[in-house]
Structures are given as structure tokens and as C-alpha cells.
Amino acid sequence: MRDFSRDTSALALNTATLGHNLDGHGAGWSPEQVIDACAERGFGGIVFWRREIGTRAVQIGELVRAAGMQVVGLCRTPYLTGREAGSDAEVTASIDMAAALGAPVLTIVTGGTEPGSKGLEDSRKRLAERIAQHLDHARACNVKLAMEPLNPMFGGNRTCLFAARDALGVCEMIGDAQVGLAVDVYHVWWDTTLPETLARAPGRILGYHLCDWLENTSHMLLDRGMMGDGVADLKAIRAAVEAAGYAGPCEVEIFSAADWWQRPPDEVLDTIVDRFQSVC
Ligand code: ZN
């Protein structure tokens, strides 16, 4: 397992941690401010959300690399399944934005169950079909597609993948190396089968997302914990991820409306560096 105690090169910031994915949250820093603050602290990369990028993808990508970091990924495609599924044109546009940023990975939050369906089988088939339709374009753009399974409490309207094994099942249906999964501590910490599941998925892990599960979670979307403040076994989860061959960035993604989004970004970033080196 990698030793992070004196090395932050694998540390990446998902800008949602500063409130950037939702209107009216966080300190409202520009991409330039985020880039400078992360570079100063030795972060290795940044993950942006589409809403921050607008038409400046090429420029922002260049600024990140000029600061000595990588654009690690982009969040995210529109939903691919369910009542709120986006159009093919929107999916293509999200792939194009990732390519323009120089982001090697585009995250997929799948969307919910297909209208009129029961259970999950129809939705997962539809998901596999829609991803397959976009693979050639993603390949041409050098962008891999990472399905992120979400905690089962997000079933219904937000996801049809609840565990790493569900995402791997869809990977197997698609059968293409351009697609894999992202492992997010918030969504997998409860899953005692994670090590066995990931062991049969060498090369499929495209991202690892850090936060913590608070013992008393007060809001299912917006009350994630800072690493070390909760009950997830962070080192054990990373051990499973790395045993499956993952050696990429560790992306801190903390949605925290009542706590971390209320604090000055400098404090949040300093805390992340400290916790990354000590508890992750
Ligand atoms: Zn995540």
C-alpha cells in the first residue's frame, strides 16, 4: 500500500468539497483561486464539475497543468437512465468537455430506474446500452467512463447501481476496457464484500473518492464527513482498491452543507492535507 505520510502527489481535490457543485454554497472561489490554493499545498490534481467550466475547458486545463497538477476527472455525465435521463447530445458534450480539459476520466452517476419498470434489471440493461453507444467517441477523445455506484439509499431517482459488484456486472455486460468504476468511500464503506469484488476487477477501477461516513449522518446527500471524523475504515478500503491494481489519484469529495462548506476554503484545504497524510 502506498505511503502518503509525506507525499501529497496522489491527493486530488474534487471541487464539490468547496461547495462548487450547488448554487449558493461555499465561498464561490473561481477555478483560478482553487488551482492556486491546491498547487500551493502540493495537491497532485483537481476534479471539476461541468457547471464551473462553461466554455473555458481548454484554458482551465492548461492552467492546472501550468501549476504542476493534473486534471484528474470531470463530474459528470447527465443521467443515462430514469425519468431525468439526459440526451445523447448532452452525453457527447460532457465527453467533449472532459477531453478539452485533458481529463482522463468522466464520472457517471447513472440516474434512477427506467420509467414504468420494476426492480433494476431493465434499468441496468438500458444503462449498458447507453454507455455502449458513446464508447467509440469516448475512446477517440481518450476519456474513460467511470460508473460510480451509490449507497442503496439513493436508489429510485438517482442510481441503479448500489455496489461495486453491480457496476462490475454492467462492465461485464458492455465488455470494453473504456468503461470501469469509481469507488467512493461514502457509498461503499458498508460493503464487506468489497475486497473480493474488487479482486476480480483488475484494471477496472478508474477513481477512488475520499470522505468519511459520520456516525450520525443528518442529510443523506449533504452531510459527508471529513476523513477521520467518521466510522469508515479508510485504510482498509484503500488497501482493497490498491490490491486490485489501482495506483491513481485519491480524490477528496465532501458534500457538507452545514459544516465544511461553511468554513473558509483555506481551512478546508489545510485540513484535507493533514488528514490525507495521517488517516487515509
Ligand atoms: Zn464520488
In a domain, residue 146? The reply is: yes
pTM of the model: 0.97
In a domain, residue 187? The reply is: yes
In a domain, residue 156? The reply is: yes
In a domain, residue 173? The reply is: yes
CA 192 to chain centroid, in Å, comes to 21
Residue 130 Cα, ligand 1 centroid: separation in angstroms?
21
pLDDT digits (tens, 9 = 90+) for 9-20: 999 999 999 998
Residue 23: per-residue pLDDT:
86
In a domain, residue 5? The reply is: no
Residue 201: per-residue pLDDT:
85
Q: How far apart are CA 117 and CA 115, in angstroms?
A: 6
Bridge-based pairing of strands 205-210 and 250-252 is parallel
Residue 106 Cα, ligand 1 centroid: separation in angstroms?
11
Residue 241: per-residue pLDDT:
97
Residue 123: per-residue pLDDT:
98
Residues above pLDDT 70, as percent of the chain: 100
Residue 189: per-residue pLDDT:
98
Please give the tally of structural domains in the chain.
Answer: 1
Strand stretches in the chain, DSSP E: 11-14, 45-49, 70-75, 105-108, 144-147, 179-184, 205-210, 250-252
Residue 33: CB partners within 8 Å, gap ≥ 6?
265
pLDDT above 90 for 21: no
Residue 20: per-residue pLDDT:
86
Domain containing 114 equals: 11-279
In a domain, residue 109? The reply is: yes
Per 3-state DSSP, the chain is made up of helix, strand and coil in percentages (nearest 5) of 40, 15, 45
Residue 253 Cα, ligand 1 centroid: separation in angstroms?
6
Cell numbers at 174, concatenated: 458492455
Average pLDDT over the chain reads 97
Mean of the pLDDT values across residues 200-205?
A: 91
Q: What is the CATH number of the domain that holds 90?
A: 3.20.20.150
Ion ligand 1 — residues with CB < 5 Å = 184, 209, 253
pLDDT digits (tens, 9 = 90+) for 62-75: 999 999 999 999 99
Residue 139 Cα, ligand 1 centroid: separation in angstroms?
22
In a domain, residue 2? The reply is: no
In a domain, residue 6? The reply is: no
Residue 61 Cα, ligand 1 centroid: separation in angstroms?
21
Residue 5: per-residue pLDDT:
97
Residue 210 Cα, ligand 1 centroid: separation in angstroms?
8
